[in-house]
Amino acid sequence: MGGYNLVAGFLIFFFVFIYFVWFGTSLIIENNKEKKDNIKINPYDNLPLHRKLIDKKNKKLGIFDLGNHVLIIGMIFLAIFIALNVD
């Protein structure tokens, strides 16, 4: 098998592969258009950033109503600060 035959075979395989990928993707997109009405948006996704950082399920927020992840990050920063300032 010569070099040109190898390149021609590779190009034919490549174009057939691209065609099937394009065809399969277009079928998936068409199927998703029909299912698009069933998609529901999570109400927590529409919250502003400061509500996402603080406990998002709590309707009444005060100064001390931080989420657990904010407290954990604060403790990690405190440990790093102490570790860097040890003599």
For residue 56, give Cα distances in angstroms to 43, 47, 48, 69, 85.
10, 8, 10, 12, 35
Quick: pLDDT tens for 35-76: 666 667 777 677 777 666 666 566 666 655 666 667 778 888
Question: Is residue 24 within a helix (H) or strand (E), and if so which, with residue range?
Answer: helix 3-35
pLDDT at 53: 65
pLDDT at 41: 74
Quick: pLDDT tens for 11-37: 898 888 888 888 888 888 887 776 666
Instruction: At 61, list the tokens.
Output: 């927020």
**E-assigned strands of the chain?**
none
pLDDT at 68: 66
Give the integer Cα–Cα distance in Å for 54 and 62. 10
